[in-house]
Amino acid sequence: MTTASRKNPRETRTSSTTRTVDGAKSFKAPLPEKPEPLGEELFRAIDRSAGALSAQMTAGLSPAALWMAWADWALHLAQAPGKRAELAAKGWRKASRLGLHALHCAQEDGTDCCIEPLPGDRRFADEAWRKQPFSLMYQSFLLTQQWWHNATREVPGVSPHHEAVVSFAAKQLLDMLSPSNSPFTNPEVIARAAATNGANFVEGYKQFVDDVSRQLSGEPPKGAENFRPGHEVAVTPGKVVYRNHLIELIQYAPATETVHAEPVLIVPAWIMKYYILDLSPENSLIRHLVGAGHTVFCISWRNVTAADRDLSLDDYRRRGVMAALDAIGRIVPEAKVHAAGYCLGGTLLAIAAAAMAHSGDDRLASMTLLAAQTDFTEPGELGLFIDHSQVDYLEDAMWQHGYLDSHQMAGAFQLLRSQDLIWSRMLRHYLMGEPPSMNDLMAWNADATRMPYRMHSEYLRKLFLDNDLAAGRYMVEGFPIAIQNIRAPIFAVGTERDHVAPWRSVYKIHYLSDTDVTFVLTSGGHNAGIVSEPGRANRHFRIAGKTDAEPCVSDDAWAERTPAREGSWWPAWQEWLAARSSPQRVAPPAIGAPDKGLPPLEDAPGTYVHQR
């Protein structure tokens, strides 16, 4: 044993001695002792507890993230005299336009407006807003809104993310102050109150009390009881043929004498219940596929609890997609599978397909991505709520409960579409006294689920923040996976008004894949664009394919050169699936495989869909 090896380890850890060039001893600062893991956990738990308590008071929004965005904007605006001068000049011009408009209105009726609402802004569409003093009120509001948009945009030096956050926050505050939201400045409300002798306010108050009581008690909104899974919705006949802790696999009964040899597996998002793809019989995508001669399987995800806090994103891959493929392989042996994923389910399917390609697993006949992102560099308006501060804040809230509560997710989505989901609803139901309406899609939207702490944290950090999947850094079973390795043909669908997965972000699958890609851009939003059954009016879509040998074009160039077609994209997808299936149709497979340990367990839609 050497002299060095006989030294006291404690002394070696706490001090260090060296010699200078002339041989003199020189003492370094003591080396820090390795902190005890228990102490680290204790200190981190204190931080988590404080963050969780704060999150309860801020509806899950990080005050630090908002403060940093405001400080970035305010400090850069303070050191930009040119921008301030520009805003002063614009403010003066807008005040002059408003003054001239008021002067003309005083002299004659029917004077043209000095500013028009943005496309899609229907708050001031009623003719009553053209009369004074209401015309002057809403014109002043729109000019103020336009000025603040200019003030929060193009400030030199502000980061794009902070600029978007400040602009979004300013818009939310202004929307609160809109004259359309006050019973004293909204001519439609005033007219309704005069016609009903104020009964509209009584009805509105009743609805407000009912909504608050339902929210506090955890009950669904009024009317949702008319759309129950297994009764009015999710009624396509089928059986649960496989169940584990995370999924139930539903196999749907055939509706034709012969079927395509390759079955279809649908991987829905676990942020909501699966039956958005099996709503009422007339707008069920699953029923449409079954009626076209496909054997359809669909995953129904478990609604997790605090006990599932440690479920990982890879657990969803292994116990979800891969477990479903294994079960299908026992029911329909030696048949390849057309796999389709919606939203988060599509992202998970892309991860699973890339991992399968790496390991030589060729069970996929094709892959369909419905409003699903694989590149998160441009995640859309949802990115307003995703930065390192906000993610850490969400992790604190999830750490306390073990999951992300559905109300927090619903609140974020409502803010993204506050005019439609908050203020217009308040106007119609609480001020105008109109009774609430409900349909199957709205009832499904209220049937929210929870997401486990570990999985959602990994999803936000690895995909949203670090974009590991697109960069080829995402690890599965110890190795990085790449979308470029997928050789199955891809069918991708984006929707024109998607605020969750913008179509230009979905389009990026062209840049990541080395296989044939068929892309569809359809009218509608994230949900209504996918639930687009044949026969619905005012629907259109664009579709174009690209082989792996053809060059990519930009999203704008693609949209410009691809003509729009009237109708639903569903038949086009079904034809695409049929063209990539075996030419000969076969007899429908049996439901389940009792001889292989997969007996039918119960009727669809199963039990997981009913979990609260």
Backbone angles phi, psi at 391, to 5 degrees: -65, -45
**What is the mean pLDDT of the segment spanning 68-81?**
96
Whether residue 467 has pLDDT greater than 90 = yes
**What is the mean pLDDT of the segment spanning 95-110?**
81
CA dihedral 535, 541, 542, 545 (to 10 degrees): -60
Average pLDDT, the chain: 88
Closest CA to 493 of 285, 302, 325: 285
Give the lowest-confidence range in 29-33, 377-381, 579-583. Answer: 29-33
> Residue 542: how many CB atoms within 10 A of its CB?
19
pLDDT digits (tens, 9 = 90+) for 169-185: 899 889 889 999 999 99
The pLDDT value recorded for residue 7 is 39
**What pTM was computed for the model?**
0.87
- Name 579's Cβ contacts closer than 8 Å, sequence gap at least 6: none
| 135: helix, strand or coil | helix
The pLDDT value recorded for residue 94 is 93
Both tokens of residue 562?
A: 């691809």
113 is catalytic: no
Both tokens of residue 483?
A: 């979308």
Strand partners, 337: 364
The pLDDT value recorded for residue 61 is 78
311 residue type, one letter: L
Whether residue 350 has pLDDT greater than 60 = yes
The pLDDT value recorded for residue 17 is 42
Give the lowest-confidence range in 32-46, 118-132, 244-258, 340-354. Answer: 32-46
Distance CA 552, CA 562 (A): 14
H/E element, 95: helix 81-107
510 residue type, one letter: H
Whether residue 34 has pLDDT greater than 80 = no
Instruction: Find the catalytic residue in 105, 113, 343, 552.
Output: 343
Whether residue 19 has pLDDT greater than 60 = no
Whether residue 581 has pLDDT greater than 90 = yes
**What is the mean pLDDT of the segment spanning 205-224?**
87
Closest CA to 76 of 164, 162, 169, 165: 162
Closest CA to 285 of 368, 374, 349, 224: 368
* CA–CA–CA angle 217, 218, 223 (5° rounding): 105
Pure H helices in 177-198: 187-196
**DSSP per position, 395-461:** HHHHHHHSEE-HHHHHHHHHHHTHIIIIIHHIIIIIIS-PPP---HHHHHHTSB--EEHHHHHHIII
Cβ atoms of 413 and 421 closer than 8 Å: yes
Whether residue 31 has pLDDT greater than 60 = no
